[in-house]
Amino acid sequence: MRNQFEGMMGLLKWARAVLLLALALGATSAYSASKVVLVLGDSLSAEYGLGRGDGWVALLEKRLADNHLNFDIVNASISGETTSGGKSRLPALLEKNHPAVVIVELGANDGLRGLPLAETRKNLQDIVSAAKKANARVLLVGMQLPPNYGTDYTKRFAALFPALAKDSKVALVPFLLEGVVTQPQLFQADRIHPTAAAHPIILDNVWPHLKPLLGK
């Protein structure tokens, strides 16, 4: 009888050890599970006029892998997208993907259409607020317009992004096309969309501001 009791106690200890090991492995698996970076953008992020895999978002996937950062990229960018369109699409994207980071690359089409800057800012503010409410870290991407849109409008447009980033306490890429706009050969025939050769530069503009958000 005593031997049976000792055998049962040994069995219980073994079962307990197995259970603890399973729980530990489960916790490790959950911790190392792939996380999501959601890119909410327009044609500058949607590989407009490029071969598949040539855009900066696709290049970002490779850089994440090279840096052993376990993130999946969801590129929800659409050519022609406005801040209003991005705002309307975001709730479903947040619910579906539960992103750790949201990169907001919108506003250029608002500016090219001459939409009211107050409207653009309000839409971007709502996008940032929704992403933060979903516990995502936000990277706002700054843009600028060609000078032919008028000095006053272009200055106020460019200033919109750092002001919003400061007020919302989110990270900012000062200007997505820094180092590109001064090189005409880096643009497609429409003189608006960058060529494949420009996208590594674009990624280098994004990366220093994105990387700190990935390690938190």
Please list the active-site residues.
Answer: 43, 190, 193
Conformation bin of residue 107: beta by default, left when phi > 0, alpha when psi is -120 to 50: left
* Phi, psi angles (nearest 5°) of residue 39: -105, 115
| Intra-chain end-to-end CA distance of the chain, in Å | 56
Q: What is the DSSP letter of 83?
A: H
Find where tokens 């709730």 sit: 91
Side chain identity at 204, as an amino acid letter? D
Q: What stretch of H or E contains 201?
A: helix 199-214
Single-letter amino acid code for the residue at 170: V
Is the separation of the CB atoms in 143 and 161 below 8 Å? yes
